Amino acid sequence: MAGLTASYINNKLSAEGTTNKTKALILEFFNNVISLGAIAGTEPKEGPVFDDPEEGCGDQIRDYDIGKTLAQRIINKRNALGGFTNLFQLAGISRFGIDKFNDLLYSFSKHVRLQYLGHTV
């Protein structure tokens, strides 16, 4: 699968109609996590990012999370930037591909929808 590009991010955000609230929630999450354990899924505990059943290309059992190595790369990038200011900055992270970006949008869009509906998340 091809790597994540700014063009793909732009097209995906537009096509999905991703809300500013969802974008802000993702940025807030990545900017405020203290440890890679808060991002990564470590068996048997799932992480906060789930495989998008419509577009996921990973193993639905073992590959639904962001792993420890990728989580560390996300934290390193965030620290180098002084914090993420937009989702396009994720394109510069090694091994953060299209599948994980789709999973991220799916997970946080679902979170925002549940909040909107008045569900506790």
Condensed to tens digits (0 to 9), the pLDDT of residues 38-56 reads: 888 766 667 778 777 777 6
Query: How many helical (H) and strand (E) elements, i.e. helices and strands, does the chain have?
Result: 4, 0
Is the whole-model pTM more than 0.75? yes
Q: What is the mean pLDDT of residues 14-30?
A: 88
Q: What is the pLDDT of residues 62-79, one digit of tens each?
A: 555 788 899 999 999 999
What's the pLDDT at 94? 92
What's the pLDDT at 7? 94
Query: Of 10 and 19, which is predicted with more confidence?
Result: 10
Name the strand (E) or helix (H) holding 80: helix 68-81
Question: In the structure encoding, which two tokens stand for residue 87, read together?
Answer: 């989702």
Name the average pLDDT for the chain: 82
Q: What is the pLDDT of residues 76-104, one digit of tens each?
A: 999 999 999 999 999 989 999 998 999 88
For 22, left (φ over 0), alpha (ψ -120 to 50), or beta?
Answer: alpha
Band of the pLDDT at 15, cuts 50, 70, 90?
A: confident
